[in-house]
Amino acid sequence: MRWLRRWWRQPDHYDWIMAYLTTRGLAGIVRALIAGVTIISGAAVIALTTTPVVASGEFPRVAAIAAGAGLMLLGLPWVLGVPTRRQSAQFSVATTTCIAVSALACSDVRMALLLCATFAMPAGYIAFLHTATYAAYNFQVAMILATAEACTVAASGHLVEAMCALWLVFALTLSVPASIQIIVHSLGVDLLEADSDPLTFLLNRRAFIVKAQELISRGRGTDAYLMVMMVDLDGFKILNDTRGHAVGDRALVAVADILRAQTRDTAAIGRSGGDEFLIADTTSRPNQTLAAERLRAAIADMPYPITASIGVAAIALIHIDDPDVESVITDLVAAADHGMYRAKRDGGDRVQAVRADGGDGAADEVKRAGQTA
């Protein structure tokens, strides 16, 4: 049963899945699909109130209309933009509840069982984006209602029909989310093994080195410098311990977004560790303290109680020989790392530059700085 405990305790997928879809230009399609299915489903429930399948009496019809209107309203946030993680979790619970109300309002038990089968839609959504707690709520509601309706069908002398309908609801509400969970897990594993960090979708350290080598190749024959920044978050452990890992993950995603916004499209941006990030780019000036200060200020302005200590190092490209490219990048990262630790020792929330000014000893200066880290 260890696998079951792991499944129950697994973290929410919402932030990294939505970041994955956004970076690949798929978020708009997913939004349109979720909004369209939810709004049309709500309209279909309201349309059912004009037919005999809804129980007679004012209360069942009002309940069904309210459930249908609720589904239509729940689709609107997806029309306007990407909801927050909390709004998405509320969406999953509310859609399950609206389907339950719709089924309870039906006097036709066969239609009620058909509506029970649609619990598979929020079940799939939950499996794709959220935790086992929400999946358990959806499954329990679906099976309780389906069992009650199937018992009514069986009592009328249609036992086989009742058993088949109950099995259909069970199979859909279990197999759909289970299949999606397998896909999501496999996707997460593949991303871990690929070039990008699965949470922030920044480069991992290996891919960062490769991209920095490409920057050097493109800048050869110019007076440019290769600049590396090491960014380490101050107070991140306290944030994780006091507000939970889900909040910490959202803070890391927010930092990654700032790094993308504050750098050029050509820059290599990577996540090298838990709360450490790397930036490499070519520049016409070796001193990039002002750029690092803008980055530090942007992180400090986030709605999270964290700041950044940033180390900056640079070297002239004309002093990098072909056989030494990877080792120079490694030394430059070590130098920036040394500067970052000096910034932390000085109180954090500051920038510390380690310069290589382009003289004959530039590479050696970088190496010495890295060796003292």
Q: Is residue 199 part of a domain?
A: no
Residue for token pair 């890295």: 370
CA nearest neighbour of 199 among 149, 252, 275: 252
Region class of 88: left (phi > 0), else alpha (psi between -120 and 50), else beta: alpha
How far apart CA 222 and CA 195 sit, in angstroms, is 29
Q: Which residue among 193, 221, 245 closes a domain? A: 193
Q: Which domain holds residue 34?
A: 2-193
Both 360 and 333 in a single domain?
Answer: yes
How far is residue 74 from each of residues 46, 67, 90, measured CA to CA in Å? 15, 10, 9
Confirm whether pTM is higher than 0.85: no
pLDDT in tens, the chain (373 residues): 676 777 777 777 887 788 778 767 788 999 999 999 999 999 999 999 999 988 778 899 999 999 999 999 999 999 988 888 889 999 999 999 999 999 999 989 989 999 999 999 999 999 999 988 999 999 999 999 999 999 999 999 999 999 999 999 999 999 999 899 888 878 776 766 678 888 898 999 888 988 888 888 778 778 889 999 999 999 999 999 999 988 999 999 999 999 999 999 889 999 998 899 999 999 888 777 889 999 999 999 999 999 999 999 998 888 777 556 788 888 999 999 999 999 999 999 999 998 653 333 333 333 333 333 3
Compute the Cα dihedral for 179, 180, 181, 187 and give only its sign.
positive
Strands 225-234 and 307-316: antiparallel
What single letter denotes the amino acid at residue 176? V
Q: Which residue among 170, 193, 216 closes a domain? A: 193
The pair of structure tokens assigned to 188 is 């997460």
Q: Which residue among 193, 220, 253 closes a domain? A: 193
How far apart CA 172 and CA 60 sit, in angstroms, is 26
Number of structural domains found in the chain: 2
The pair of structure tokens assigned to 335 is 């130098």
